[in-house]
Amino acid sequence: MTTSTSPQCPFHGGQPPVPSGETPAIQPRGAWPPGPKVRLTGWSLLARMARDMPAALRAWRAEYGDLVHLRMWPERELVVADPALVRELLVQHHDALVRWERGIEVFSQVQGHSVLVAEGAAWSAKRQALQPEFAPRPVKAFVGTIAAAASRALDAWQAGAPGRPRVEAIDSALTALTMDVIMRMMFSSEIGIDARRAEGAVHEALVMANREMFWPASWPDWMPWNGRKRAVKATLAELVTRQVEARLAMPVEAWPADMLARLLHLHRQQPAAWPLRAVVDECMTAFLAGHETTAVTLAWWAWCMASNPEAQDAARREVDGVLEGRAPLEADLPRLGYLAQTLNETMRLYPAAPILMSRRSTREIVLGGWTVPKRTMFMIPVFLLHEDARVFPEPQAFRPERFAPDAPPIPRGAVMPFGAGPRVCLGQHLAMAELTVVAAMVLQRFNLSVPEGEKAPEPVLNISLRPKDGLRVGIERRNL
């Protein structure tokens, strides 16, 4: 039995009228945007997404347009790939949205009930308490910490001599570096010998989470076949709890001024709102989110630089002219404009979070002229926005000039590597500062090149966008 995806929804009758001030409906109530035809349950669509989510979404967008209806019993989901509609959804309708319950359940298995998974008043309170640490001014104070960690890591890179590049697994090297950065900012500590073990655990946790997103429920951790999952969670939990316990054993007056101290002061001042478990959960989220997306972006940036030597040379000339051989200072970051363009273009081509966590509507809304009933799901594929040829001619080409000050304006919502609306990434300013500092210091010391015979890495979606088989580039020390 085959059904169209556009009949009136049998589950959402008798909805209240659209609140005043919203975009008026154009399509008749009960109608749905176009989408693929399905059989009775529509679960074949879910299976197709599980096999290759980006390919499925690209095909549906090409066939049905910027607003695609997916009927997967018992859910109805809209894939929103139009910049204006995405902003309308995440900004104008933010108060009518919650994040997908199953997604929150999966993330909370490792990250507890942190700001990443909280909703409603709990989320608002956590966000308000944490926001000051991630505002632009406090973030600038971390530039020295980032530079110190980068200098230590880059000193240890086994680069080839000038003219003789050495092939390096750059994604692994940069992951270790960003882990060290977040450990210093959070705990005033260093990653040390935990780096490789933690890197493996984070990767496995992301792969497991991505797989479980397509299951209706998770097996309990105590099941015999979940031994590897238990080990991964234990590795990450031990890394964080060891730091918290060590800090609590110190006199308060000896605490360094870092993120953990901020959280523990909240715990001391508001123990009911901020129990110790909440401190651990926020630390776990900050550790995972604070290094993974930055590491992934830097790895893809290194590949873009290696495969676009003219852009690499232009960025290096800027870095040399601004820094004159010294480590970056906070005042230098706004002057590294072209370097920022290369980073922005990298995030356009390879967004670290290519699909935002799905949302669910808590009331009827109107989106793009369609009346959308309560409990509808919304998927926002950031990567489709970023590769829209109507906005970015030759979208697969690496062109930093797209982000130049004199370039044609990019429509709002067409580029959103950190999301949009009230739930925009809390650490976006910190991420940009870290990306700029590390990228500048890499270019100061090394030339990057594509190894002979090396093929372009294949991006794979496991929550974040990582290269399928790692990412190798040639690195050689500059002849200064």
Which pLDDT belongs to residue 207? 77
Check whether 80 has a pLDDT greater than 50: yes
Which pLDDT belongs to residue 10? 30
Q: Taking Cα atoms as reference points, which of 280, 204, 215 lies closest to residue 244?
A: 280
Q: Measuring CA to CA, how many Å separate 262 from each of 131, 138, 276, 310?
A: 11, 12, 13, 44
Instruction: Kindly report which listed range (45-54, 188-197, 253-262) carries the lowest average pLDDT score.
Output: 188-197
CATH architecture of 43-477: Orthogonal Bundle (1.10)
Check whether 19 has a pLDDT greater than 80: no
Q: In the chain, what are the domain boundaries?
A: 43-477
Instruction: Kindly report which listed range (34-38, 39-43, 311-315) carries the lowest average pLDDT score.
Output: 39-43
**For the chain, what percent of residues have pLDDT higher than 90?**
53
Residues 278, 113 contacting (CB under 8 angstroms): yes
Please tell me the number of Cα atoms within 13 Å of 232 on its side-chain side. 20
Residue type, 59: A
Task: Quote the mean pLDDT of the chain.
Answer: 87
Question: Counting every residue, how long is the chain?
Answer: 480
pLDDT digits (tens, 9 = 90+) for 128-138: 888 887 877 77
Which structure tokens are listed for 71?
């009927």
Q: Return the SS3 of 98.
A: strand
pLDDT digits (tens, 9 = 90+) for 260-290: 999 999 999 999 989 999 999 988 888 888 7
Better-scored residue on pLDDT, 314 or 214: 314
Instruction: Kindly report which listed range (58-67, 193-202, 408-417) carries the lowest average pLDDT score.
Output: 193-202
What average pLDDT does this structure show over 313-340? 96
pLDDT digits (tens, 9 = 90+) for 343-378: 999 999 999 999 988 999 999 999 999 999 999 999
Residue type, 35: G
pLDDT digits (tens, 9 = 90+) for 158-199: 776 777 788 889 998 999 899 888 888 888 887 666 656 777
Q: Return the SS3 of 477.
A: strand
What average pLDDT does this structure show over 368-396? 95
Which structure tokens are listed for 276?
């110790």
The pTM of the full predicted model, rounded to 2 decimals, is 0.88
Which pLDDT belongs to residue 39? 84
Check whether 304 has a pLDDT greater than 50: yes
Cβ neighbours, 10 Å, residue 392: 20
Which pLDDT belongs to residue 112? 81
